[in-house]
Amino acid sequence: MIRGLYTSAIGMKTQFNKMDVITNNLANVDTNGYKKDIVVSHSFPEELTKRINDMKNGFSNNRNIGTMSLGLYIDEIYTSYVQGALKQTNDPLNVAIQGKAFFAIGTEDGTEKYTRDGSFSLGPDGTLMTKEGNIVLGQNGAIRLEQGDIRIDEAGNIYVNDEFVDQLRILEFENPESLRKVGDNLLERTEGTMEKDVESRIAQGFLEGSNVSVVREMVDMITATRIYEANQKAIQTHDETLGKAVNEVGKI
């Protein structure tokens, strides 16, 4: 009976954490280049249970009852890097990546981060920047552009009035799942992140949308809510049964 309380409580906690992930995905459905998170659940290992301290005809009657598990827990939160749909904006400072690469971004703390959001703008001094004010990196560091006709080709080469300025620094990774989200639609490397040759192409005048499906997330939200409520009801039932065992059976 007590085991049932623990199993239901673990189930409620798992669904509560899953709801947090789903809510965050829905909140970023209109965020350019956002990659959705997916909760991967795993059940506790099943254990063989035995009936012990049971006597029959003066002899111990220990025997197998069956297997049991303490329910589900969150194994990991996996980020899906499936490409989102491209939408045309015709803004020369909007660029999208066709492929699996990432833009390299210089942040205030001096470290290099990565993003798929290509909605760039020019700072007061002509520095190419993200919406959050971080620096878009080129092969030679920060990119500074003069006023004029800005053209970015498929390789990421930037031209102003047909004069070459710099090339966008984009990178691809063997294992993008090793990247870690750090906020502001940015990711950072971890110890196991490995680079590979870039095969992606740049599309000027386009932005990549998020890869979140509102319908899919709403279905997952409804499912998580129902499972949460079922576990909640199970806890109430266990509590009522335990109360009867203590208050009524104990009087006999």
Residue found under tokens 């870039």 = 198
* 27 compared with 46, residue with greater pLDDT: 27
Residue 192: phi and psi, rounded to 5, are: -95, 5
pLDDT-derived band at 207, boundaries 50, 70, 90: very high
CB proximity list for 250: less than 8 A, separation 6 or greater: none
Is the pLDDT at 82 greater than 60, yes or no?
A: yes
In contact, 249 and 29? CB cutoff 8 Å = no
Residue 239 has what pLDDT? Answer: 72
Nearest-angstrom CA–CA distance, 18 and 41: 9
Is the pLDDT at 55 greater than 80, yes or no?
A: no
Q: In the 8-state DSSP scheme, what is residue 61?
A: -
* 76 compared with 92, residue with greater pLDDT: 92
User: pLDDT by residue (tens digit) across 99-116?
Assistant: 999 999 999 888 999 999
Residue 61: burial class (beta carbons within 10 Å; 0-12, 13-18, 19+): exposed
Q: In the 8-state DSSP scheme, what is residue 251?
A: G
Nearest-angstrom CA–CA distance, 119 and 33: 9
Nearest-angstrom CA–CA distance, 239 and 18: 25
* 146 compared with 57, residue with greater pLDDT: 146
Give which of 208, 202, 122 is closest to 168, Cα–Cα: 202
Q: What share of the chain has pLDDT > 70, as a percent?
A: 83
Nearest-angstrom CA–CA distance, 51 and 63: 5
Q: In the chain, which residue ranges form alpha helices assigned H by DSSP? A: 2-27, 214-247
Nearest-angstrom CA–CA distance, 135 and 152: 17
Residue 86 has what pLDDT? Answer: 95
pLDDT-derived band at 74, boundaries 50, 70, 90: confident
How confident is the prediction for the chain on average, in pLDDT? Answer: 86
Radius of gyration of the chain (CA): 27
Nearest-angstrom CA–CA distance, 148 and 85: 29
Average confidence (pLDDT) over 15-34: 93
Average confidence (pLDDT) over 129-144: 94
pLDDT-derived band at 238, boundaries 50, 70, 90: confident
CB proximity list for 113: less than 8 A, separation 6 or greater: 104, 105, 106, 107, 134, 182, 186, 187, 188
Is the pLDDT at 95 greater than 80, yes or no?
A: yes
Residue 228 has what pLDDT? Answer: 86
Show the tokens assigned to 95: 């660029």
